[in-house]
Amino acid sequence: MPGTLAGAPENVVRAALGMLGQGEARSLDTVRLERVGGGCVNPAARMITDSGRTYFLKWNDAPPAGLFHREASSLRALTDRDGVRAPRVLGVGENWLLLEFIEFGKPTDASWERLALGLARLHEPGPETFGWEEDNFIGPLPQENEPDGNWVHFWRRRRIHPQLRRAVDAGRMAAGEAKLVEAALDRMDELLAPKGPEPSLLHGDLWAGNVIVDRRGDPVLVDPAVYRGDRAVDLAMARLFGGFPDAFFAHYEETFPLPTGPAHLRCSLYQLYPLLVHVNLFGRGYVGDTLRRAREVGEA
């Protein structure tokens, strides 16, 4: 195998090349891969063909079944909406995904405003129920999406409970700690608007690492875990690990204000899900933050 493939399996590169049109490289001898960083789940590379065109290729030697197909579906769902740009899917296989390559730029104040306005458009509610047409993944972990007309039921049964069970079964959380999270869930009805949220299309994993800016300064969403849910979930995730300036939240609120009520408690309630995901991915280092959010909600 040529030394220019940056560790990518030869069969993956061949399959990706086969998805490209006539005039592109058809031989491994005429393609070059340059590894790129950033992902904690899958290796990735910039793929340059002999025509000079550049693509983004990521792969996994043993991915969970359907991982890349579900990611491709999520990206297509975002690109089908007049919201924030997402990379075009050019090809997908069981252990690889080929996307358009986004040349990185530097974010400006205008970039954050465009992101807020685009996210507000993405979040325009529709008539659908909560959930999604298929289960997918958040990172490498399975994400259940069976549709449900009741948001409280969906959040409890399809988001928090699967992660709690996984954490307790793996010994990452004690049963008593899990009960604190359950107590926070018992307050969902009173923390939501009187009629409850309407289903909005969510990115589903909106932390700063999943937003890039292109050369024109336009935001681009990557690595989504889409479903329909309360739009406040995306905003709560965006506040969890930093990276989003205050101006982003202010522009969003001006465009599409969130319901009145205990916003900080609602935010903590929704942050329980990504924190539990981190417990299951990275261990007990995230249990403390999870329990702090749970106590904040359950004891307020």
Separation of alpha carbons 202 and 204, rounded Å: 5
Separation in Å, CA 164 to CA 155, 158, 170, 182, 186: 12, 11, 10, 9, 15
Q: What is the CATH number of domain 109-298?
A: 3.90.1200.10
CA 265/CA 271 separation, integer angstroms: 10
For residue 179, CA distances in Å to 64, 143, 248, 294, 299 come to 30, 21, 35, 9, 13
- The reply to whether CATH 3.30.200 applies to domain 3-100 is yes
CA 230-238-227 angle, 5° bins: 35
Other C-beta atoms lying within 10 Å of the C-beta of residue 178: 21
Neighbouring CB atoms inside 10 A of 233's CB total 27
**SS (HEC) of 9-21:** CHHHHHHHHHCCC
Element (H, E) at 44: strand 44-48
What pLDDT does 5 receive?
67
Q: Which of 266, 258, 260 is nearest to 296 (CA)?
A: 266
Residue 49's pLDDT is: 86
DSSP codes of every residue in 267-286: HHHHHHHHHHHHHHHH-GGG
Would you write out the chain's pLDDT as a tens digit for each of its 300 residues? 444 566 788 889 888 888 886 556 566 777 888 888 755 678 999 999 887 889 999 999 999 999 999 999 999 999 988 789 999 999 999 999 999 999 999 999 999 999 999 999 999 998 889 999 999 999 999 999 999 999 999 999 999 999 999 999 999 999 999 999 999 999 998 888 777 899 999 999 999 999 999 999 999 999 999 999 999 999 999 999 989 999 999 999 999 999 888 899 999 999 999 999 999 999 999 999 999 999 999 987
Smallest Cα–Cα separation from 250: which of 238, 262, 266, 240?
238
> How far, CA to CA in Å, does 4 sit from each of 1, 29, 210?
8, 9, 27
Q: Please state the pTM of the whole predicted model.
A: 0.93
The secondary structure element, H or E, covering residue 75 is helix 67-79
Please answer whether residues 275 and 293 qualify as being in contact, where contact means their C-beta atoms are separated by less than 8 angstroms.
Answer: yes
Q: What is the pLDDT of residue 3?
A: 47
Q: How far apart are CA 262 and CA 80, in angstroms?
A: 33
- The yes-or-no answer on residue 189 being catalytic is no
Write out the residue limits of the CATH 3.90.1200.10 domain(s) in the chain: 109-298
- Orientation of helix 263-282 relative to helix 232-240, angle to 10°: 60
> What's the pLDDT at 1?
41
- Report residue 58: phi and psi, to 5°: -130, 155
The CATH 3.30.200 portion of the chain extends over 3-100
From 205, 218, 223, 234, the catalytic residue:
205
Structure confidence at residue 110 (pLDDT): 96
